[in-house]
Amino acid sequence: MNLLLLTIIAIAEGASIYNYGFSENSKKIGTQEHLFQYLAGNAPYFKYPLDYGINLPIPEHCELKQVQLLARHGERYPSKSKGAKLSNVYQKLQNYTGALNGSLSFLNDDNYHIFWEDTSQLELEVTSKNSLDPLNPYTGEQSARTHARQFISLYGDLLEENSTLELFTTNSKRVHDTAAFFAEELDNAVKSTHMNIISEDSSSGANNLSPGYSCLPWDEDENEEYLSKYSSEYLEDIADRLNNENKNLPLNLTATDASSLFVWCGFEISVKGYSDACNIFTDAELLHFSYEDDLYDYYQDGPGHSLAKPIGSLLFNASVELLKQSDELDQKVWLSFTHDTDIINYLATVGLFDNGKKLNASSVPFLDHIYRKAWMTPMAARLYTEKFQCSNETFVRYTLNDAVIPIESCSSGPGFSCPEKEFYSYAEKKLDGMDFVKACDIKSSSNYTSLSFYWDYESVNYNASLLIQ
């Protein structure tokens, strides 16, 4: 009876039922959360698995002075490029008469279709209206709303009922939509909210929430020769297994197809709440895929890429300046929404997950593996910078995805925070030699050589047109 009621309510609110009538996956939804951490940030949000036993709220008897948020958009449909690859695999599996066997047998269901109704949904945030299952609890909309309510619980003391709260977002539609859902939940806590929409275009130069787009010299394939050393044997094994299970059909699945099936698994959970495709993989294969994603991210966007830290320094430097000016600035809450890559670049500069040991392409590490991309930037990731005062001293602390992440070399304060003066010394060392404008040759494509939107939003109208990309 409760399932029936929930389904009727969801349909009444505009959710798609994707030709299912009542959800056939209702008993499966919520049973795959143990997989999220292995799915390369394509699956729904999950809490950072290691909280070190540190309480998330600021320590008792301390007072918040400022909080900053750098958040990823919520659960979404695949990008157009990934959608094209997934469509190719889906069509390959549909081009035969006869039943599929083994872990691909779910495709024999006449009601099963690829997990978007048409290509116009690609790139978009998953919402209650466009989710392919009315009972899907993992939509980007719901993540943003739940996150906002948690934000009010943790940081509501900094919100002023009679004030307008400024939010900052890139002009990617899914990023903007996440910020908008978040803002709607704040409307009961403040007089109003106002969205500053910052263009991602390279012409924005240094005045950008997604600075990687402005860094024209950036080369994704800088470390491709080293990355190619990571064995694809596990993908070949998957393809061979699926082909052997279906010897009656000339599937001819490849290692590339097998890699796409992991992407299928993660995104389908975000869109529908469950994915039968996830049952294809063994535990070992999930571990291999997860580490391969860590490895590629480390050398393409993280500490292993020569431009990652200079790119991340733009937002990190702005964050430090906001902290230093917290007593002077009227706004005490700084809410910014962008992409996972931008958060990864930022974290590379801060150094929270960089112990100086480069990731190895020869094998999967276990005992000394702190760089886990999916843990850092799942869908709806949220990185907070907290500044709080205890007695007469002020401290700075980071939390990531509902877990406190101490700066290992500076954690002597309450709640394993960093004393403010020591934090600024730490930041100065991390930013030493970091010149975003020079490293990214900004002057060749833009006149904007500094990040100003946090300071000039009252005089400049930041209202870039939304883009679906």
Q: Could you tell me the two tokens for 343?
A: 């958060």
Scored b (16 or more CB within 10 A) or e, 332-370 reads bbbbbbbbbbbbbbbbbbbbbbbeeeebebeebeeeeee
Which residues are the active-site residues?
73, 340
CA dihedral 316, 146, 189, 209 (to 10 degrees): 30
Q: How many CA atoms lie within 13 A of 421 on its CB side?
A: 1
**CA dist., res. 273 & res. 323, Å (int):** 39
**CA dist., res. 282 & res. 226, Å (int):** 26
Q: How many CA atoms lie within 13 A of 300 on its CB side?
A: 15
